[in-house]
Amino acid sequence: MQFDDLGVTVANGGLGKVQFATQTQHLLDVSPGWDLVICAGAAGSLVDELSTGDIVVATETIEHDIRSKFGEPLLPRFESAEEAVKELRNGPASILFRVHFGPIASGDEDVIDADRRREIRQMTGALAVAWEGAGGARACQFSGVPFIEIRGITDQADHRAASHFRENLNTAMRNAAAMITTWLARKADS
């Protein structure tokens, strides 16, 4: 779907890193000339300071679920588009939710217990955890296109995650969409 007034194309990325990588790479291949790819979605919080509806803008996406048994854990890191992060940091003060900047962990797993939450936080230093980001980041790195991940918090990545995800998904996505559209509208006006 195209939004010409914002200069944006929106596409469903699918579920999981591989599907998102495939969808992203397809779009990059069939229509060259992309300025930026944004992975927008929901996430679980890995830190107590984040609340439902808060937004996390990734400064980097860290793939946390490669289970190497031959040595140190593999934690591929993908830096976010520096200019996009800078512009978002200078965003409007009138947004009705809190915005945080820091790493987002990416892996194809539902994080639903405190021990796993703590393990991922310690391993990556990430503020939040979600599924698809590393797939899009890999496709963008391969194609030389800047990438950024923006997530709305739905839950605390604990035993209540499944019910909280369902209860809070609309709020988290509405806030992520507001963050992105406000930023893009401001860019279009300048």
Q: Cα–Cα distance between 51 and 55 in angstroms, integer? A: 9
Mean pLDDT confidence for 140-167 = 97
**Does the structure show a pLDDT above 90 at 176?**
yes
**Does the structure show a pLDDT above 90 at 153?**
yes
Residues of 126-149 as b/e, b for ≥16 C-beta within 10 angstroms? Answer: bbbbbbbbbbbbbbbeebebbbbb
Cα 129 to Cα 55, 69, 91, 114, 152: the distances in Å are: 12, 22, 23, 13, 11
Phi-psi region of 169 (alpha: psi -120 to 50; beta: other; left: phi over 0): alpha
More confident residue, 33 or 153: 153
The dihedral over CA atoms of 121, 122, 125, 127, expressed in degrees to the nearest 10, equals 20
| Closest to 121 measured CA to CA, from 182, 89, 75 | 75
CB 153 within 8 A of CB 45: yes
pTM of the model: 0.94
CB 91 within 8 A of CB 178: no
Q: Give the model's pLDDT for residue 68.
A: 81
pLDDT category at 1 given cuts 50, 70, 90 is confident
Phi-psi region of 125 (alpha: psi -120 to 50; beta: other; left: phi over 0): left
Q: Give the model's pLDDT for residue 179.
A: 92
Q: Which residues contact 86 (CB under 8 A, 6 or more apart)?
A: none
pLDDT category at 59 given cuts 50, 70, 90 is very high
More confident residue, 40 or 74: 40
Domains parsed from the chain with CATH numbers: 38-131+144-187 (3.40.50.1580)
**Does the structure show a pLDDT above 70 at 151?**
yes
103-150 pLDDT, tens digit each? 999 999 999 999 999 999 999 999 999 999 999 999 999 999 999 999
